[in-house]
Structure 1
Amino acid sequence: MEQGASESRSLGSRVARHILRLFFYLIITALALFIGGLAIFYQHIATIAPPDNPKADAIVVLTGGYQRIDQAVQLLRKGAGERLLISGVNPATTGNHIRVLTRSSDDLFACCVDIGHDAMDTTGNATETARWIRGRGYKSIILVTNNYHMPRSLAELERTDHGTRFIPYPVPTDVSPSELVRNPLLIRTIAAEYVKFLLVVSRDWTGFSV
């Protein structure tokens, strides 16, 4: 009887070790996949570049810095699109405030710029943009946002609006290795964007919202 109990304990111990070993391998595999995917994501945002002389029905810029808005207004001035939506503007910020900061004319903002105050995040940007596109019947859009934010923004917009062609126009943020060493917070920003991007592309089965 003691021998049977001993064999049972031995079997249980072997099963436990096997489960722990399997769990360890799964963790290592998941970590390797994450790091590999992050490296590909980093390479993409480090090399993505705006197209030369882009042309579309209209332009959309997602707020998050006036460098983005400046670039979008410049595209509008050059005739890259007939109209500009600035999505996700703080309700306390007026169109006139943005016009002054971008040194734009009253005529340009009066005729061709729409200010969106509803969006609170990238998901909201996509909803606000899709509604604006449907209301005006556009078929092609130049999307302006930072390079590290572009993959998630495109994923959100393409998921929300299947009928529109989005042309990415990334505003460069220095993500070179030397800059990552100098500014470690940038590593956290890129990693966070990668995680959010994964959640966006897998949202239908994860149920997460970012």
Structure 2
Amino acid sequence: MHRARVTILTVLGLICFVLVVGFFMFVAQLAHDEPELTDRADGIVALTGGPERIIEAVDLLSKGHGKRLLVTGVNQGTTSHEIAKLTPKFHDEFGCCIDLDYEAANTVGNADAAQKWARAHHMQSLIIVTSSYHMPRALVEMHRALPDLDLIPYPVVSSRAAYDEWWADSGMARLLFFEYLKYLGARIRAEFYGFSDWKI
């Protein structure tokens, strides 16, 4: 009985150790600065969750990095006019080449909405815009939904996201840890779809 208890505690300890090491590796690979994007793609997909994501995505569109932009996961009560207020100098883009998705309620839904949109517009490449801490999970879901498309990550780094000293901010530490757990869940689910080419 004692030996069985020791074995169980040892296994649990190893699992905790692996999770902790994995968490530190997850945080270490997050982008701390926004990239200087030189690539161009057929489309741009912005996952809602903060105004910075939409602003950066519209800016990429205005600079010709993509032909159309999908903002996915928009709140049902939010209009295109209200979103356009976030980027007043790019107001015209909302009348020509920006589409809004109101159905997605989570990252899985974002990926499914992007799939439908990309297929409808016959796209072969997408720039994915979301927060730096959310990018690993977003790419897992996007690869699951769009395994044959070229996906270019554009991680948005908020000025509030102090990744360099995350351990000193309990709120940021919680955010990153729960995002890490969600990321692990996304990877496990993706295995059931036969996707195992992990690049994150």
**Distance in 2 of aligned mates of 1:73 and 1:154:** 20
Using the TM superposition, give the Cα deviation of residue 54 of structure 1 relative to its aligned residue in structure 2, in angstroms. Answer: 2.6
CA contact under 8 A between 1:50 and 1:168: conserved in structure 2?
Answer: no
Compared with structure 1, are the counterparts of its residues 179 and 40 closer, same or farther at alpha carbon in structure 2 (3 Å cutoff)?
Answer: closer
2:49 — aligned with what?
64
Identity across the alignment (%):
35
**Distance in 2 of aligned mates of 1:20 and 1:179:** 36
For residues 132-176 of structure 1, give each alpha carbon's deviation from its aligned partner in whole angstroms, at most 9, with x where no partner exists.
011111000000000000000000110111111110000013333
**Distance in 1 of aligned mates of 2:152 and 2:191:** 27
One-letter amino acid of the counterpart of residue 62, structure 2: R
Q: Which runs of 5+ in 1 are unaligned?
A: 1-15
2:179 — aligned with what?
193
2:13 — aligned with what?
28
Compared with structure 1, are the counterparts of its residues 205 and 167 closer, same or farther at alpha carbon in structure 2 (3 Å cutoff)?
Answer: closer
Using the TM superposition, give the Cα deviation of residue 188 of structure 1 relative to its aligned residue in structure 2, in angstroms. Answer: 0.5
Secondary structure of 2:44's aligned partner:
strand
CA contact under 8 A between 2:31 and 2:155: conserved in structure 1?
Answer: no
1:168 — aligned with what?
153
2:65 — aligned with what?
80
Compared with structure 1, are the counterparts of its residues 43 and 72 closer, same or farther at alpha carbon in structure 2 (3 Å cutoff)?
Answer: same
CA contact under 8 A between 2:126 and 2:149: conserved in structure 1?
Answer: yes
One-letter amino acid of the counterpart of residue 188, structure 1: R
* Structure of larger gyration radius: 1
**Distance in 2 of aligned mates of 1:205 and 1:158:** 11
2:198 — aligned with what?
none
CA contact under 8 A between 1:63 and 1:88: conserved in structure 2?
Answer: yes
CA RMSD in angstroms comes to 1.7
Compared with structure 1, are the counterparts of its residues 75 and 177 closer, same or farther at alpha carbon in structure 2 (3 Å cutoff)?
Answer: closer
TM-score (norm 2): 0.89
2:144 — aligned with what?
159
Aligned pairs, number:
190
**Distance in 1 of aligned mates of 2:32 and 2:90:** 34
For residues 3-55 of structure 1, give each alpha carbon's deviation from its aligned partner in whole angstroms, at most 9, with x where no partner exists.
xxxxxxxxxxxxx1111010011011001100110011000114575243231
**Distance in 2 of aligned mates of 1:26 and 1:136:** 50
**Distance in 1 of aligned mates of 2:18 and 2:164:** 21
For residues 69-120 of structure 1, give each alpha carbon's deviation from its aligned partner in whole angstroms, at most 9, with x where no partner exists.
0000000000000010000000100111111221144431111100110101
**Distance in 2 of aligned mates of 1:204 and 1:151:** 13
1:178 aligns with 2:165: yes
**Distance in 2 of aligned mates of 1:129 and 1:110:** 20
**Distance in 2 of aligned mates of 1:66 and 1:175:** 18
Using the TM superposition, give the Cα deviation of residue 180 of structure 1 relative to its aligned residue in structure 2, in angstroms. Answer: 3.7
Secondary structure of 1:101's aligned partner:
coil
Deviation larger for 48-57 or 124-133? 48-57
Compared with structure 1, are the counterparts of its residues 49 and 40 closer, same or farther at alpha carbon in structure 2 (3 Å cutoff)?
Answer: farther
**Distance in 2 of aligned mates of 1:177 and 1:50:** 17
